[in-house]
Amino acid sequence: MEDVPALGDALPLVATDPRWLGIALADLDAVHADHLHCERKAAQSALSLIRSYPQHTDLVTAMARLAHDETRHVVQVSQLMSRRGQPAAYDFGDDYAAKLREHIRKGEPSLRLDRLLVFAVIEGRSAERLQLLADALEDPKSRELYASLATAEVRHRDIFLALARDADPTGWRARAAELAAIEAEILENRAISARIH
């Protein structure tokens, strides 16, 4: 059986542009406001996979647990915002995820594989950036929160990769590498802003 680090190696995401951290730290309110909705959307995405694939028992169980984690993250980010005296904000949309989703192929079995891998990419990118914030924030409680969230998102990335491997044992690695390259191109062509993605 394949071990967990080997799963993560299958998704070689490029490093975030070093300018992102400074831009994010300069407007933490914007980052937190966006982050709250990232966690909400992660929960909804996990539940949407249950709607689409109820016959896949392992997927249903894993996604129900993952959605549970993500709703807890919504609570944690919301509490952080309250502590900072920061009001909640509406979601201004997420063209990063939308651009990734454009590469999800139609028709099964490609559709399930690609949905799982796109979510793995988003989790992997979130984990990297939450860890960058954890290492840079001054407030000890915020550092601790962001470090714990980064750890959770790495675990989520690997859950999606394991489900992708189950969905297509021979093709998942090649498609993961393709989507990692596609994500690099998406990042390259969009402005850096005070958001998680």
Contacts with Fe ion, residue ranges (CB under 5 A): 39, 42, 70, 73, 123, 153, 156
Nearer to Fe ion, 128 or 153 (CB): 153
Minimum Å distance from CB 39 to Fe ion? 5
Instruction: Pick the closer one to Fe ion by CB: 123 or 168.
Output: 123
Q: What is the CB-side half-sphere exposure of residue 187 using CA atoms within 13 A?
A: 20
Q: Can you read off the two tokens belonging to residue 129? A: 């950036």
**38: Cβ–Cβ under 8 A, 6 or more apart, which residues?**
94, 126, 196, 197
Report the nearest approach of Fe ion to the CB of residue 155 (Å): 8
Residues 184 and 168: their CA atoms lie apart, in Å, by 23
CB of 113 to Fe ion, least distance (A): 19
CB-wise, 74 or 167, nearer to Fe ion?
Answer: 74
Question: Smallest distance, Å, CB 25 to Fe ion?
Answer: 20
Please state, in angstroms and rounded to a whole number, the distance separating the CA atoms of residues 71 and 78. 11
Which of 26, 120 has the CB closer to Fe ion?
120
**Of 158 and 168, which has the nearer Cβ to Fe ion?**
158
SS3 track for 135-183: HHCCCHHHHHHHHHHHHHHHHHHHHHHHHHHHHCCCCHHHHHHHHHHHH
Closest to 10 measured CA to CA, from 131, 124, 130? 124
Least distance CB 118 / Fe ion (angstroms): 13
